[in-house]
Structure 1
């Protein structure tokens, strides 16, 4: 349990790795500057990109710039932020996800409860070319956003979403940071490091809570290629592999509880709604939505089975499986 006697200090960590998101990264930093709650510090971690580091160094003077001291990948970059920070709470924001003005204030408000270990918020997709007709809101987790079926009011959850999350710094350090065997590595769409660290944090803290506050909003840019069926299936495959990795660390029951409920309740309703919309003429794209749900479920399940079979191979081999073991080329 953590004793809270006064409002906690908070730092914001933004991890970045590519020059391609330059303009969006600057917009994200601006959104943090505009917060109603001013953070103690803003830490931008550059993941092994010297050109990006030098360019930021030349124009940004009110944030702490740090080169990732971990291996290439998001988990290593986040752990560098953990090592650098000195505040009570660490809030993480993606380099293409702009925060609403009250984002930080709404996250930090829950830390007056000493049993709260982490707080995450809603991630709303901003589609570059508009939402594809076959891409239902139930599948928005594929693009790193909140999906239909999540709570609509502040609620206790198993894990937060990576693009919009915060933790007590003491918790992150106590559990040893993010698992380097998990998380996106460059263009390989692995994930689930947030799920794993949330589960691991609670194992050693009975009675603790992790909270999802949908009013703490960030808007996540979704490029056109991430709305394609190709990306949907690639991301689904890698999600299955990632979930298999997590289940090896924390056990199947902890790793898959919410997923089982999602598959049993949210997805069947999505399929039926899509078929109904198509058959009644209300939305001719409904059949495509239903088909996408079934395809995503099949590929995620196949990835999970594949990941279980590879449970004892190295992280490098698992990462390679995302591109070599699936019937498509690697996607960005």
Structure 2
């Protein structure tokens, strides 16, 4: 879940990088777009994602497709996308390791990320990269709209669209400072990567249980490494995220909320509660009460009000379960946590131990699970 932000200051922008003493402009920064994929079941989505980047009105310098420990998909993608750089994930299995592999292969000034089941609007890159004219801006994210394959459930509150990896009610509606962008449409300056150390192992998605928040933890460390830097939300930079029917179910809603709670516990342990939960506390205090009140005023929307209350309760339960496991030493901390050794297994062990049996997603042996 990303953070609601505050409006960017008015007035003239800071001196841009694009200029010199003679008044001539330097070339616009180059952009590498990174797409991480893990299953052949999404191959048509992967092709659509790659195609949407190739159709940008501001071309990317390179498209890097990182395949997460799937040799068959790696061979197929290399054959299908000869104009792209297709590489295997060289780090531990999972989204964090795949993203790190992509960044380490990138050569451009800016690295941007789009999910393998998302499609970028033709002007996504031009709008996403425009704020980098200000040298103080180190990260920019855009809007992720939900493309519901089977239709949006009547009970699903728009304030909880983060459950399906999309922008939600409560985010800024104008260009604004935020804590962190949504992972399906984010970017940062490549030169800051060595200062931050990359995405932490063990926080991002892998396997059947939907951990997240690796973007939150990364951007918090980025801000600490560069005090006074800006991370912006640009609503006009849009990608469309495919939401399959399996994610429109009540059981997925519960699983994802519980996993989000555990993920927040891991981030809290890494960077402290103030940084990890500042935006979430404001979201619970302001946005969600308005959502419940609005739904209760319309009798037919009462199920949506119930989903808001249930979502908060299940997320809080996951947070509590994660803290207990961390504090009792039942889990190794991820790379990036204070004093932690590099590990990919620890937080997912917490999740596996903490998710109630009835909320776990079962997968056929040897078959990748949806994420």
Q: Under a length normalisation based on structure 2, what TM-score does the superposition of the two structures give?
A: 0.85
CA RMSD of aligned residues (A): 1.4
Aligned pairs for 1:266-285 (under 5 A) are: 266-278=287-299, 284=300
Matched, 1:314 2:343: no
SS at match of 2:65: strand
> Which runs of no fewer than 5 residues in structure 1 stay unpaired?
279-283
**Residue aligning to 2:53:** 32
**Residue aligning to 1:299:** 314
In the aligned structure 1, how far is the partner of 2:223 from the partner of 2:268?
Answer: 15
Aligned pairs for 1:238-277 (under 5 A) are: 238-277=259-298
In the aligned structure 1, how far is the partner of 2:80 from the partner of 2:86?
Answer: 11
Superposed displacement of residue 225, structure 1:
1.1
In the aligned structure 1, how far is the partner of 2:318 from the partner of 2:15?
Answer: 38
**Residue aligning to 2:36:** 15
Equivalent of 1:182 in 197, 203, 226: 203
Per-residue displacement from partner, 1:245-281 (whole Å, max 9, x unpaired)?
A: 1111111000000100100011111111111111xxx
In the aligned structure 2, how far is the partner of 1:323 from the partner of 1:207?
Answer: 38
SS at match of 2:233: strand
> Which runs of no fewer than 5 residues in structure 2 stay unpaired?
1-13, 19-25, 334-344, 362-369
In the aligned structure 2, how far is the partner of 1:241 from the partner of 1:123?
Answer: 23
In the aligned structure 2, how far is the partner of 1:246 from the partner of 1:2?
Answer: 34
**Residue aligning to 1:88:** 109
**Is the CA contact 1:310–1:318 (under 8 Å) kept in the aligned structure 2?**
no
Per-residue displacement from partner, 1:199-245 (whole Å, max 9, x unpaired)?
A: 10000211101000010000000011111111111101110111111
Runs of 4 or more off by more than 4 Å in structure 1? none
In the aligned structure 1, how far is the partner of 2:191 from the partner of 2:208?
Answer: 31
In the aligned structure 1, how far is the partner of 2:202 from the partner of 2:150?
Answer: 33
**Residue aligning to 1:281:** none
Per-residue displacement from partner, 1:58-89 (whole Å, max 9, x unpaired)?
A: 22110000100000000000000011001110
Aligned pairs for 1:226-245 (under 5 A) are: 226-245=247-266
Matched, 1:70 2:91: yes
In the aligned structure 2, how far is the partner of 1:3 from the partner of 1:181?
Answer: 37
Mean Cα deviation higher: 31-40 or 303-312: 303-312
**Residue aligning to 2:303:** 288
Aligned pairs for 1:74-223 (under 5 A) are: 74-223=95-244
In the aligned structure 2, how far is the partner of 1:241 from the partner of 1:223?
Answer: 24
Superposed displacement of residue 318, structure 1:
3.0
In the aligned structure 2, how far is the partner of 1:136 from the partner of 1:224?
Answer: 16
**Is the CA contact 2:58–2:126 (under 8 Å) kept in the aligned structure 1?**
yes
- Alpha-carbon spacing, 1:155–1:318, altered in 2? closer, same or farther (3 Å): same
In the aligned structure 1, how far is the partner of 2:81 from the partner of 2:293?
Answer: 50
**Residue aligning to 2:17:** 4
**Is the CA contact 2:94–2:206 (under 8 Å) kept in the aligned structure 1?**
yes
In the aligned structure 2, how far is the partner of 1:83 from the partner of 1:215?
Answer: 28
**Is the CA contact 1:322–1:330 (under 8 Å) kept in the aligned structure 2?**
no
**Is the CA contact 2:202–2:346 (under 8 Å) kept in the aligned structure 1?**
no
Give the total of aligned pairs. 326
Superposed displacement of residue 301, structure 1:
0.5
Mean Cα deviation higher: 167-176 or 110-119: 167-176
SS at match of 1:310: helix
Superposed displacement of residue 329, structure 1:
4.1
